[in-house]
Amino acid sequence: MKKYFGTDGIRGTVGKGAITPDFMLKLGWAAGQVLGEKGGKVLIGKDTRISGYMFEASLEAGLSAAGMDTLLLGPVPTPAVSYLTRTFAAQAGIVISASHNPFHDNGVKFFGPDGKKLNDELEAEIERLVDQPIVVADPAQLGKARRINDAIGRYIEFCKSTYTADQSLAGLRIVLDCAHGAGYKIGPAVFRELGAEVFTIGNEPDGLNINKDVGSTHPEALQAAVKQHRADLGVALDGDADRVVMVDHQGNVVDGDQILFIIARHLLDQGRLQGGVVGTLMSNLGLELSLKELDVPFARANVGDRYVVAEMVSRNWGLGGESSGHVVCGHATGTGDGIVTALQVVSAMRTTGKSLAEMAGAMQLYPQRLINVRVDEKVDLSTQAEIQSAVESAEAAMGERGRVLLRPSGTEPLIRVMVEADDAEMANDHAQAIAKVVESELCQ
């Protein structure tokens, strides 16, 4: 088990544990040692949290001590760092973000020179060096830093290039929720420049309001705005814009599983679907069964978009994602990208002439009940006899009509209890029962 890295980089509360300026200084140095090379460069992007300024400076200092140059991108989406790392031929890209978490959390994600997230071995090597004393490069070999002032413009053009429909978006009314996060400039510009009429919410970041009652984890604001503006659809990003959920014109939420199905079906109809689709252990059973009806193979990876990407690569498949809205469209980009994913859905709408509601309605979602139980520390759930007994009891009661997934969050101190069944009441009852046992056993 790694000491600092979770399923999506390092994350936690600012000022505690690893989320401190002194740790980030050492992390920058360690990353420079592991990922860098003499005369190399590393990109740093961030979301809109107030603590991003502090950690940007710390990482830059550590990288300089390791002899690495730093290119500062400012507030940009996580996938923008992935893309620009490749186009600048950098040795690595770093994102300062805690994704969908509130402002008082922050974290760091790393991309390699190929724009993909690091594997477990590289993360373990960085962790090993973090606990070693810093050895500063010779003064003549210290790294320099400079800002890339056109990073936003570069990424807007990339996003627009992934839109494949023949028609412009003229006449389409879209509400875009930017979560007061990293996509607040880029997202509206992309859709407007493609011709859509765009209404925005969550686009006034102040360093403290990222994800607050808006964004992909709080779609209620978007649902209300879509109805208010009589829009054709709504798009909700998260704080670092690497995930997306959507809302149809009736105000119904379209989640990551439905988005995956829409894109897969569209690519299949166009003869452009590469292989099958990768989901995760959390993916709805309805996605698997709906794809099966189309003779599209489906596989489940561990939760975390880098595990989805790894499974896609191993199978040579071109599409994968998570229920949360992390979707990787391999035909367009190499990592989860909320803006690019939304464009693929809009492209399918314009090509077929169907509404988002029609396209999402072609897939039946099985009722799921997800309960997050906050715990004090990480535990090995397999050693908890009472919890395992509760899971086994639920599985026996549901038989083939449902399934249980119990797992610790890789980014927060939570145990996620998920029950899926063909009956909503059944799913809720079993989830509540298991969650009570988890709470009684682990929350003393």
Per-residue pLDDT tens over the stretch 256-273: 999 999 999 999 999 999
Instruction: Note whether residue 4 is domain-resident.
Output: no
Cβ-defined contacts of 161-167 (< 8 Å, 24+): 162/329, 162/332, 162/333, 162/340, 162/343, 162/344, 163/194, 163/343, 163/346, 163/347, 164/344, 164/347, 165/346, 165/347, 165/348, 165/350, 165/351, 166/350, 166/351, 167/350, 167/351
Annotated catalytic residue: which of 99, 216, 324, 347?
Answer: 99
347 catalytically annotated: no
pLDDT at 208 over 80: yes
Q: Confidence band (pLDDT; 50, 70, 90) for 285?
A: confident
Cβ 140 vs Cβ 244: under 8 Å: no
Q: Pick the last residue of a domain from 125, 148, 171.
A: 148
Q: 193 and 73: one domain? A: no
Please tell me the pTM assigned to this model.
0.89
CB-based burial label for 239 (10 Å; 0-12, 13-18, 19+): buried
Average pLDDT over residues 383-408: 90
The string of pLDDT tens digits covering residues 419-439 is 999 899 999 999 999 999 999
Q: Which pairing describes strands 414-421 and 402-408: parallel, antiparallel, or unpaired? A: antiparallel
> Which residue, of 361, 379, 408, is where some domain finishes?
361
Concatenating the DSSP letter of every residue in 89-134 gives: T-SEEEEE--TTS-TTEEEEEEE-TTSSBPPHHHHHHHHHHHTSPP
pLDDT at 359: 98
The yes-or-no verdict on residue 227 having pLDDT over 90 is: yes
The pLDDT assigned to 271 comes to 96
Band (1; pLDDT cuts 50, 70, 90): low
Is 1 a domain residue? no
Do 249 and 230 share a domain, yes or no? yes
Per-residue pLDDT, 36: 84
Question: Are 357 and 412 within one domain?
Answer: no
pLDDT in tens, 131-175: 999 999 999 999 999 999 999 999 999 999 999 888 899 999 999
Same domain, 356 and 338: yes
Same structural domain for residues 180 and 298? yes
Is the residue at 221 inside a domain?
A: yes
* Count: domains in the chain: 3
DSSP 399: G
391, 325: one domain = no
Check which CATH number belongs to the domain holding 135 and give it.
Answer: 3.40.120.10
Domain boundary pick from 338, 361, 384: 361
Whether 132 and 180 map to the same domain: the answer is: no
Domain, as residue range, for 353:
157-361
Q: Is residue 186 part of a domain?
A: yes
Q: What is the pLDDT of residue 182?
A: 98
